[in-house]
Structure 1
Amino acid sequence: MRNLCMKVSYDGTDYCGFQTQPDGSTVQDALEKAIKLLTGEEVKIHASGRTDAGVHARGQVFNFITSSDIPVERWCIALNSRLPQDIIVWEAAEVPLEFHSRRSAKRKTYRYTINANQFPDLFQRRTQFHHPVKLDIAAMAEGLKHLIGTHDFTSFASRHSTKPSHIRTLYEAELVVDDSMCRPGTRDQGLIHIYVTGSGFLQHMVRIIVGTLLEIGKGRKKPGDMPAILEAKDRSKAGPTAVAKGLILWNVEYEAADENNLKSACDLPGFTVK
């Protein structure tokens, strides 16, 4: 038996999330179907984390057990020829049997993109939230900084969250503006990329953070309100949940010290090690 670990990118627009569900098409379903078409095996893949309906991934990681002897370097091309065009597997490695994509993950980074130009980008409209009304971007960046550290993120979790603890750590949080597509002499503000890196994330957590930052950008909340929102541990104190399509699972990182699980995967350029 072999444990194969892979990295996949997908446009989540037409999927009901990553994880298999009773009703609706998911990314996991498509991957497992492609593996069956290739090897004849019924496998269950394990991902670094689930993504909601409409959310995308640039660097989702998954692993599965197989008895196939197909060389690891052939898997990406073989799977991609059996996958829909909005899912691409682009890294593969054979890892120790103990490796588990979710349990071994140490840090995850999400990126949310707000298109703050007057007009939407026709070619990126599936992966950006268009907000043409002027925003106070500096205030948004200031508000974001208050979330770095270890906090109880109940105010930023879905009311339907079933996690026993809402304490999470944000290691990094950054707002980056790309104004390369702004038209001179207009009210275009560019693309606002919000990057958050943490130990793990609650259901809708990043989207609620973004929704709260948008409230700050529109002047409805102040950057200094963030500590009080955290302290309240009350979902109603934060902003609305931002739409799914602007969110991308950007990267997943694994500890180099976890030698039993990562000694093979660490050699691949697509697997980041801290």
Structure 2
Amino acid sequence: MPITDRQVLWIAAACYAFGLLYGTFCLVRARRHSRVTMYSVIVVGYVLQSIGLLMRGLAVKSCPIGNSFEILQFCGWAATTIYLFIGATFRLSMLGYFTAGLSAILATISLSFGSWDATHSKMLSDSNPWVPMHAGLAMFGYGTFSLLALTSLLHLIRHYSLRSKRLSGWFSFLPSLIELDQIGTRLLGFGLALFTVAMGVGYLYWRIDKGTVDHLKVIAVFLVWVGYFAIFVGRLKGRLVGHYFAIACVVLYLGALVSLDPVNRSRYPDRTQVEQAHHE
């Protein structure tokens, strides 16, 4: 019996979970985990997740973001992509640990609810190449915001350790506030740029075909963009710095996750059973 895309994605989730458990074990033992080991585990999980999403895309003949299951998988995959190609250059071992945790959680949650993967919805405009480009850029934007939320969480933990004067144990492995602030600013700028281009591509297409516009989706996505733009401007002007900047990024990320629901609901059917697509 041939292996299915969901089985491959379960194996990928197990790899991410192993990275999370390995990092946690090292923290409990109050020693730094191996960056090479953590990076290798994440790479293996990433490759398997890429294969699983590719299999899904070929099965449904569409970009695999057609239901809640696929959106969470793609969002986690995008965050891992950003970490592997950008985040790792920051040389923060704890960021790899948190990335493994985020990917494991998103993958496991998406796989645990079968109803989220009961159907796959295609937009009527799937045949237009600008639409997958818009969706892909937007998902990479969400992935960057996921990584930003992780660095912001690290910033808050470091801030707490300094205020409470807890500098030993696993707190000693945390990077400095200055490093985390610089990384957060760069990730915010990069994610905002991706999101802006994605919205621009969507606008160019949907102003031609206004019948495909879902107003709730547009409002939700626009509010997310406005929120991150406001944080970016506040950071550049020095009005939103330190742990206030980190708190704003974490809170807005939770709102961004909520916005994925109207994005998913906005799809125009042609709704097809995923199980049927697997047998085509």
Regarding TM over 0.5, the answer is no
TM-score, normalising length: structure 1: 0.26
Of Structure 1 and Structure 2, the greater helix share is in 2
TM-score, normalising length: structure 2: 0.25
Of Structure 1 and Structure 2, the greater strand share is in 1
